[in-house]
Amino acid sequence: MSIDRQDDAATLALAFEQVPQLLEDDADLIRRGAFFDARFQVGVGSIPFDVKVEAGRIVFLERGPFVMRSWTFAVRGTCEAWARFWEPMPEPGWHDLFALTKKGCMLLEGDLQPMMANLQYLKDLLVLPRRLKGER
């Protein structure tokens, strides 16, 4: 699957749906998330995802929309933000969750303590679709 800036929410959502398998292929990332348990939401454009992580593994990932679904924190971004964030070598300002929040195209909300306590794990989890760039 190729990800480029013209992708719409559905195409980007398909890339995000591959994160559980990409994570399973990365034993080091699973090990680093061994103490991370959380249920959170990821918004890819207008498409919400319910994600549950236990001991660094994604045990549940469901594509919305949802009605009154509970989550601890949420990471939501525009389609442009995710497409550019998932480029193999993003341009400055498009490379990091906090850079994207500063640009106003990414939103972090809810109880951010679990996210901040496991920030590098979460950042590495959310960049996994970068590995899809070369696939056709």
Question: Taking the CB of residue 80, how many other CB atoms lie within 10 A of it?
Answer: 17
Per-residue b/e over 66-79, b at no fewer than 16 CB within 10 Å? Answer: eeeeebebbbbbbb
In a domain, 109, yes or no: yes
What pLDDT is stored for residue 5 in this prediction? 43
| Residue 108 covered by a domain | yes
Sign for the pseudo-dihedral over CA of 91, 95, 100, 101: negative
Q: What pLDDT was estimated at residue 75?
A: 98
Residue with tokens 């809810």: 110
Phi/psi of residue 18, each to 5°? -85, -5
The answer as to whether 3 is a domain residue is: no
Can you give the pLDDT at residue 8? 86
Question: Looking at the domain assignment, is residue 87 inside a domain?
Answer: yes
Structure confidence at residue 42 (pLDDT): 98
The CA-atom distances, in angstroms, between 65 and each of 47, 61, 80 are 7, 13, 20
Q: Report yes or no on 136 lying in a domain.
A: no
Residue 134 lies in a domain: no
Q: Which residues of 23-46 are buried (b: 16+ CB within 10 A; e: fewer)?
A: beebeebbebbeebbbbbbbbbbe
* The token pair that represents 62 in the structure block: 């469901």
The answer to whether 130 touches 86, Cβ cutoff 8 Å, is yes
Residue 16 domain-assigned (yes or no): yes
Task: Encode the chain (136 residues) as per-residue pLDDT tens digits.
Answer: 444 444 588 999 999 999 999 999 999 999 999 999 999 999 999 999 999 999 999 999 999 998 888 999 999 999 999 999 999 999 999 999 999 999 999 999 999 999 999 999 999 999 999 999 755 3
Range of the domain at 49: 9-128
Structural domains in the chain (count): 1
Residue 2 placed within a domain: no
Q: What is the CATH number of the domain that holds 65?
A: 3.30.1050.10
